Amino acid sequence: MFDFIKNPVSQIDTWIIGNWKMNGSLLFNEDYLEELLAKIEVMKFDPSSFCGLAIPNVYLFQFSNRLLDRNIHLGAQEISSEDEDGPFTGDISAKMINEFDCSFVVIGHSERRNKYKESEIDLVNKAKVSLKNNIIPIICVGESVKDRDQGNANIVVRTQVKQFTMGLKSEDLSNCVFAYEPLWAIGTGKSAEPEDAETMHRIIRSEFSEVLGVDPAEKIKILYGGSVKSSNVEQYFLQPGVDGALVGGASLNASEFCKIIDKSIRTTQNK
Ligand code: PGA
């Protein structure tokens, strides 16, 4: 279980989160784990970095023991907004994923916001439930290509962030991690310009400073996601306001994912 007291989110400088989405199979996972475990054995991790993999919930059992104390946290891609067991067919609770030592959960990914029309209130509740169960919520926000073309990117993202600044207590907000993922960059190979990501991160941070004040807002962790790979990850980490990367497709290749981790840690150390 993640310990917010021992490891305050604000003190973790480098975040690299892989999001497998609906990929994997028992066989694929075995090969992946074998390669990943061999590679991380010889890699240099920094105590102020947090690396994690969000895999489909059905595979948590397969991964859980194997990743224990191996510098790669296990995470889920989704949890129920309900905290107590009950008549919620298909839902998986925070308590359930906790049994597999999940440290984090992705909340509000655009693929879920759009396909399942998750309401903002549901997303805020999911963040609350995850914090209550000592799981870091990784909250995704981002604009569509239409929003951007119409000049509405900033207001759309601000509005998404506001749901959380208004719905969560300040002390809870500082235990959340946010991920800016422009929809047009997800799975397209068309990543955002690092300077544009930096600009949006600044806008997001200004929302936090309205409720938290400038200094605590500076400590909120904001990741960039959207076609991140080992060949472009350094450019993002070089931006002062980018604290990490949420990596989709590229995290499905163990060797590529390890390269991303390695480059991210080294770039932050030299920042
Ligand atoms: P991608 O996905 O890296 O494949 O663009 C990112 C995400 O959806 O989190």
Query: 158-214: per-residue pLDDT in tens?
Result: 999 999 999 999 999 999 999 999 999 999 999 999 999 999 999 999 999 999 999
Which of 144, 178, 247 is the pocket-test mutation for ligand 1 (most atoms within 8 Å of CB)? 247
pTM beyond 0.85, yes or no: yes
Rg value, the chain, Cα:
17
Number of structural domains (the chain) is: 1
Ligand 1 center–CA 18 separation, angstroms = 9
User: Looking up tokens 């590679």, which residue turns up?
Assistant: 39
**142 lies in some domain:** yes
**255 lies in some domain:** yes
The 8 Å CB, 24+ separation contacts for 30-36 are: 30/62, 32/252, 32/254, 33/62, 33/63, 33/66, 35/254, 35/255, 36/72, 36/254, 36/257, 36/258
Which of 77, 246, 256 is the pocket-test mutation for ligand 1 (most atoms within 8 Å of CB)? 246
Identify the CATH number of the domain in which residue 133 sits.
Answer: 3.20.20.70
Q: Is the CB of 60 under 6 A from ligand 1?
A: no
Cα separation, 251 vs 259, in Å, equals 10
Banded pLDDT at 245 (limits 50, 70, 90):
very high
**62 lies in some domain:** no
**157 lies in some domain:** yes
CB of 112 closer than 8 Å to CB of 142? no
State which residues form the domain around 218. Answer: 95-271
Taken in order 33, 40, 140, 212, the sign of the CA dihedral is: positive
Cα separation, 162 vs 164, in Å, equals 5
